[in-house]
Amino acid sequence: LFLMLRVHAPDSTIRRFVGWRFPHPVYIVLAAIAGFAAAPPAAWLLGQLEQAFPSNSSFDTFVEIFNQAGTIERVAIGAGVIVIGPLAEELIFRGAIFGPLLEQRTRPRAVIVFSAALFALVHHDPRRMAPIFLIGLLLGLCRYASRSVIPGFALHMCFNAIPIAGLLFSEMPPNADPTNEAVDPSLALGGLVLTIACAIATARLGRNQSDSDRGPTDRAT
């Protein structure tokens, strides 16, 4: 991040470069709800892809390691998946990459799609790329509407917390993966509807805030 800052914005601060600013709390609340709500439809989509294209993935190894780990190791793994990983990814994809592209007057939709595509590509399992790309679009919307990486960070944390909670509280055999269980289609549909509602509310809030920042003269222009 420091090197990217030196190259692309040497006169800026790291916080401004990555968009680390505290937005209106409603953005964070909407993002957190969307993170929880998006987990079931994403899991359902992943399940369909895994049925269509079965193969052994590195996630199976992760599940086995997590289930066999002790309490301290589970806490460390959970912190990495829920906090450290999302923080690092948001600072890179919706921070150091997203912000400079917007400042170059790249169309916002193109920036959102591009950052989501990069985000999906770094997750090497092709079956996971489709749901991760869709989550990336949602994260990009949060970043653009709020002008901050914090709502996306909240969404990312909540989204990642669902499978970890499933591993923690599932009473399945040690080597079983609860995320491979079929997701109730009605639960997935309800989560999708709630996610879309949060996305629409976030976009409208961002549009209203943008109009308010411009003022009546600029809006007329």
Note whether 219 and 211 are within 8 A (CB). yes
Q: Distance between alpha carbon 201 and the CA centroid of its chain, in Å?
A: 17
Which pair of tokens denotes residue 146?
Answer: 């709020």
Distance CA 159, CA 86 (A): 10
Contact 37, 189 (CB under 8 A): no
Residues 6+ apart with CB under 8 A from 14: 1, 2, 5, 20
Q: What is the mean pLDDT of each run of 10 residues along the chain (221 residues)?
A: 78 86 96 97 93 74 84 93 96 92 86 96 89 97 96 98 86 50 88 98 92 48 34
| DSSP class of 180 | G
Structure tokens at 79: 């912190």
Residue 175 CB contacts under 8 Å (≥ 6 apart), including other chains:
63, 64, 67
Quick one: pLDDT at residue 11? 82
- Give 11's DSSP letter: T
How high is the pLDDT of residue 58? 61
Residue 172, pLDDT score = 52
